[in-house]
């Protein structure tokens, strides 16, 4: 992840969200359409189900973010874990819609908004707490997507960060000042 020095909590949070989104999309791109719907066992979610759940969470949390409870009355969380969209295209549209809701809600905010109060499931949160809660939630699920994709692609997996066994090579480039590695 390219790090841009900032003291803006909001700017850093948005960069983290973009990073996790990109990482998950890099994993999603590596799996076949069939693998999007593969589960490892009866207790696991497929990549498609994780995407559907994340999008449902994002729609609920970020629609009318500052003025309504982040758990919308029309959200049925349990349905997010069954019957994901049937095609890659519709699944990725669902994914994009969720992220677009989040970026649209956070885009107009400023660091001065971090102390405002929002409600999630009837509990008061500062805007900063709500962002932290969702950063952790999305990082967790993006990690699941990467894990599943890596498992499913095994020997065909293309690393999304420093490939195994190449840390020393990466570190020497950074030490030599190779800006493309920062």
pLDDT computed for residue 2 by the predictor: 58
What's the pLDDT band for 178 if we cut at 50, 70, 90?
Answer: low
Task: Encode 9-25: b = buried (16+ Cβ within 10 Å), e = exposed.
Answer: ebebbbbebeebbebbb
pTM of the model: 0.89
Tell me if 181 is assigned to some domain. no
Decide if 15 is inside a domain. yes
Give per-residue pLDDT as tens, 4-25.
Answer: 787 899 999 999 999 999 999 9
pLDDT of residue 181: 47
21-30, 45-54, 97-106, 167-176: lowest mean pLDDT where?
A: 167-176
- CB-CB contact of 147 with 30 (8 Å): no
Return the CATH number at 123. 1.20.120.450
Residue 13 lies in a domain: yes
Residue 171, in any domain of the structure: no
130 occurs within a structural domain: yes
For residue 12, what are the contacts with CB-CB under 8 A and spacing of at least 6? 6
- Find the mean pLDDT for residues 86-107: 98
Q: What is the pLDDT of residue 112?
A: 92
**What is the per-residue pLDDT across 56-94, written as a single tens digit (0 to 9) for each?**
999 999 999 999 999 999 999 999 999 999 999 999 999
**Does residue 167 belong to any structural domain of this protein?**
no
Total domains in the fold of the chain? 1
Domain carrying residue 146: 9-157
173 is a domain residue: no
How confident is residue 167, by pLDDT bands cut at 50, 70 and 90?
confident
Residue 177 is predicted with a pLDDT of: 64
Report d(CA 26, CA 28) in Å as an integer. 6
As a whole number of angstroms, the distance between CA 30 and CA 148 comes to: 11
Is there a domain that residue 1 lies in?
no
Residue 119 β-bridge partners: 124
What pLDDT, in 10s, does the model give residues 40-62? Answer: 999 999 999 999 999 999 999 99
In the predicted model, what is the mean pLDDT of the chain?
A: 93
The answer to whether 36 and 91 are in contact (CB under 8 A) is: yes
């Amino acid at each position: 992840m390219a790090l841009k020095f900032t003291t803006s909590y909001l700017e850093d949070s948005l960069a983290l969200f973009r990073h996790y989104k990109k990482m998950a999309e890099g994993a999603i791109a590596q799996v076949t359409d069939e693998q999007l719907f593969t589960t490892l066992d009866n207790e696991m979610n497929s990549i498609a189900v994780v995407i559907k759940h994340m999008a449902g969470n994002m729609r609920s949390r970020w629609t009318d973010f500052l003025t309504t409870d982040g758990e919308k009355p029309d959200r049925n969380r349990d349905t997010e874990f069954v019957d994901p969209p049937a095609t890659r295209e519709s699944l990725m549209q669902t994914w994009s819609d969720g992220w677009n809701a989040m970026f649209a809600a956070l885009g107009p905010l400023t660091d001065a908004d971090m102390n405002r109060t929002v409600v999630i499931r009837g509990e008061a949160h500062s805007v900063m707490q709500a962002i932290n809660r969702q950063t952790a939630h999305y990082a967790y699920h993006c990690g699941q997507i990467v894990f599943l994709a890596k498992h499913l692609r095994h020997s065909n997996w293309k690393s999304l960060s420093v490939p195994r066994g190449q840390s020393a090579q990466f570190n020497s480039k950074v030490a030599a000042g190779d800006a493309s590695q920062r």
